[in-house]
């Protein structure tokens, strides 16, 4: 990453940490739609930098970018022209509404009701765990229909939409999570993203790829911040007549966290490059980066907390928050076990393709 690129990423990260992030939310939106048109590599660095300070805040960029991506990639020209300029400049804030009570990792079991009407669809049911749902102006909602899965934009101000705060989660505590209840909410045809039937296999899958890349970079950022906190503690805290870092077992913890952070960095950057260059195995690269980086975040956060001893257990202390946020990264955008399953699928695909691993 070049100096000027990093400087731009820093400026955008600073803006995203402000109460009103504005155009910094348009990282990946094409410039012809008023966005910044950044590469995935640069978007990733922005994710990383924001998460070094606040994973909760970084989550806004993840979900907003996923919705922008879905509209930009699969929306009709009319929909793109109508919605992207406001999404690109943050005048409209977007959130991603896929999960339901009985549809978590297994999104094929969506149960929200979606009936055809004369001019579109009618939604009834509930979505939950919607990051930044409390702030969102528009939701990308996924539902099953008689003709297969559908993805559509639903404005939170529309009749029949009720947004409620979700019980506070221990990680992502500031990520403004919401549950949304739809009651015969009308969705006109011109709000549909992609085609009826392709809502999961194409629209959601593609957005989740970007989500996973964003979370991978965010995990790397959290891991870096945690390693920094662990190192400061190892230097600053004295026990047994010297700083903690003189203890060999403490050095082992620092070394393992450092290796995990460096591996996360390389895998994240490789995955971003792979998307930017439309690489043949980009899914493999993105899944690998997400799996490794979220584990790196967990490792480094646990090390930071452990070296803080009792102080690391103080509720709401910086390292305590890191441990909790790191746990979220192993659950969202594909939990760790699901990702292992998917990475193995890519390993097998490469084997079957005859390509040397």
Ligand X SMILES: Cc1cc2nc3c(=O)[nH]c(=O)nc-3n(C[C@H](O)[C@H](O)[C@H](O)COP(=O)(O)OP(=O)(O)OC[C@H]3O[C@@H](n4cnc5c(N)ncnc54)[C@H](O)[C@@H]3O)c2cc1C
Please, which of residues 310-339 interact with ligand X by CB under 6 A? Answer: 328, 331-332, 335, 337-338
| Residue 28 sits in the site that holds another protein (CB under 8 A) | no
Please, which of residues 89-118 interact with another protein by CB under 8 A? Answer: 108
- Among the listed residues 42, 163, 204, 215, the single contact to another protein using CB under 8 A: 204
| Residue 30 sits in the site that holds ligand X (CB under 6 A) | no
What the block records as the tokens of 248 is 């060999």
Helix axis angle for 77-88 and 55-74, nearest 10°, is 160
Nearer to another protein, 18 or 353 (CB): 353
- Among the listed residues 20, 249, 278, 316, the single contact to another protein using CB under 8 A: 278
Size of interface with ligand X, in residues (CB under 6 A): 23
Nearer to ligand X, 67 or 250 (CB): 67
Q: Are 133 and 159 in contact (CB under 8 A)?
A: no
DSSP 19: S
Please, which of residues 286-325 interact with another protein by CB under 8 A? Answer: none
Please, which of residues 177-196 interact with another protein by CB under 8 A? Answer: 193-195
- Among the listed residues 119, 277, 280, 341, the single contact to ligand X using CB under 6 A: 341
Q: Which of 320, 61, 332, 57 is nearest to 176 (CA)?
A: 57
Q: Which stretch binds another protein (CB under 8 A): 54-62, 118-126, 183-191, 343-351?
A: 343-351
DSSP string, 24-66: GGGTTS-GGGTS----HHHHHHHHHHHHHH-HHHHHHHHHHHH
Q: Are 12 and 27 in contact (CB under 8 A)?
A: yes
Using CA atoms, how far apart are residues 163 and 274, in angstroms rounded to an integer? 37
- Among the listed residues 11, 236, 280, 314, the single contact to another protein using CB under 8 A: 280
Helix axis angle for 318-329 and 55-74, nearest 10°, is 30
* E-assigned strand segments in 132-262: 138-145, 148-155, 161-165, 178-188, 192-193, 238-239, 242-243
Using CA atoms, how far apart are residues 75 and 284, in angstroms rounded to an integer? 26
| Residue 355 sits in the site that holds another protein (CB under 8 A) | yes
Chosen from ligand X, another protein, none, partner binding at 169 (C-beta under 5 to 8 Å by type) = ligand X
Helix axis angle for 40-53 and 55-74, nearest 10°, is 160
Chosen from another protein, ligand X, none, partner binding at 310 (C-beta under 5 to 8 Å by type) = none
Using CA atoms, how far apart are residues 203 and 198, in angstroms rounded to an integer? 6
Q: Which stretch binds ligand X (CB under 6 A): 86-94, 129-137, 224-232, 241-249?
A: 129-137
Chosen from another protein, ligand X, none, partner binding at 276 (C-beta under 5 to 8 Å by type) = none
Tell me which residues touch another protein (CB under 8 A): 74-76, 108, 148, 193-195, 197-198, 200-206, 209, 278, 280-283, 342, 345-346, 348-350, 352-355
């Amino acid at each position: 990453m070049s100096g000027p690129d990093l400087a731009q990423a820093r400026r955008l990260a600073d803006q995203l940490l402000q109460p009103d992030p504005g155009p910094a939310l348009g990282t990946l939106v094409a410039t012809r739609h008023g966005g910044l048109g950044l590469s995935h590599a640069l978007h990733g660095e922005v994710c990383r930098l924001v998460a070094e300070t606040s994973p909760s805040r970084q989550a806004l960029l993840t979900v907003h970018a996923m919705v922008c991506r879905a509209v930009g990639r699969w929306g009709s020209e009319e929909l793109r022209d109508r919605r992207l300029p406001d999404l690109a400049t943050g005048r409209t804030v977007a959130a991603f509404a896929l999960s339901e009570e009985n549809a978590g990792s297994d999104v094929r079991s969506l149960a929200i009701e979606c009936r055809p009407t004369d001019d579109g669809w009618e939604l009834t049911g509930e979505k939950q765990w919607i990051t930044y749902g409390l702030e969102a102006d528009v939701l990308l909602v996924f539902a099953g229909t008689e003709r297969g899965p559908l993805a559509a934009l639903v404005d939170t101000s529309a009749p029949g939409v009720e947004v409620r705060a979700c019980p506070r989660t221990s990680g992502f505590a500031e990520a403004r999570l919401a549950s949304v209840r739809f009651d015969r909410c009308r969705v006109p045809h011109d709000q549909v993203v992609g085609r009826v039937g392709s809502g999961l296999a194409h629209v959601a899958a593609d957005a989740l790829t970007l989500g996973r890349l964003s979370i991978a970079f965010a995990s790397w950022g959290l891991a870096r911040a945690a390693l920094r906190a662990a190192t400061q503690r190892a230097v600053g805290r004295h026990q047994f007549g010297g700083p903690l870092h003189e203890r060999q077992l403490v050095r082992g913890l620092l070394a393992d966290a450092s290796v995990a952070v460096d591996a996360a960095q390389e895998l994240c950057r490789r995955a971003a490059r792979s998307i930017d260059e439309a690489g043949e195995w980009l899914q493999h690269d993105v899944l690998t980066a997400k799996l490794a980086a979220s584990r790196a975040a967990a490792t480094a956060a646990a090390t930071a907390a452990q070296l803080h001893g009792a102080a690391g257990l103080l509720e709401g202390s910086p390292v305590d928050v890191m441990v909790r946020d790191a746990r979220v990264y192993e659950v969202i955008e594909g939990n760790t076990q699901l990702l292992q399953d998917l990475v193995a699928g890519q390993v097998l695909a490469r084997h079957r393709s005859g390509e040397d691993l």
